[in-house]
C-alpha cells in the first residue's frame, strides 16, 4: 500500500516537472534573428535587461519561447514573449 502511494506521488512529481519546462538565461547574440527583430520592434527604445529561453514539451513537441525583460526610457518595465519563429506571443507591462 505504502509502495503504491509513493509510486503515485513520484509519478505526479515527475509529470508536473515535465510540464513545467526548463528556463535558462541567454545572451542577445544567441537569439535567432527573427526573435531579435520582434524584441527590438516591441521594446519601444528600451534596454533589454534579461532574456530567458523557456523550453517546454507539449503533445510530444518541443516548444521554445524567449522572454525578454525590457526597461523603457520612462523607467517602466515590459516583458516580451516571442516564439522561436519570431512571432510575438505576449507583451505585458509590469
**Residue 46 per-residue DSSP state:** P
Strand partners, 82: 66, 88
CATH fold for domain 22-93: Nuclear Transport Factor 2; Chain: A, (3.10.450)
Q: Average pLDDT, whole number, for the chain? A: 86
User: What is the C-alpha to C-alpha distance for residues 69 and 75, in angstroms, rounded to an integer?
Assistant: 12
**pLDDT of residue 12 exceeding 80:** no
The structure's pTM equals: 0.75
User: Closest by alpha carbon to 40, among 84, 88, 75, 74?
Assistant: 88
What local confidence, expressed as pLDDT, does residue 20 receive? Answer: 63
Query: Residues of 58-78 as b/e, b for ≥16 C-beta within 10 angstroms?
Result: eeeeeeebbbbbbbeeeeeeb
Amino acid at each position: 500500500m505504502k509502495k503504491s502511494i509513493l509510486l503515485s506521488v513520484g509519478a505526479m512529481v515527475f509529470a508536473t516537472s515535465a510540464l513545467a519546462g526548463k528556463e535558462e538565461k541567454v545572451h542577445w547574440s544567441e537569439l535567432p534573428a527573427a526573435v531579435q527583430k520582434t524584441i527590438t520592434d516591441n521594446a519601444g527604445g528600451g534596454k533589454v535587461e534579461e532574456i530567458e529561453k523557456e523550453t517546454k514539451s507539449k503533445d510530444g513537441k518541443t516548444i521554445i519561447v524567449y522572454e525578454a525583460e525590457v526597461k523603457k526610457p520612462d523607467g517602466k518595465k515590459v516583458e516580451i514573449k516571442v516564439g522561436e519563429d519570431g512571432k510575438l506571443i505576449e507583451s505585458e507591462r509590469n
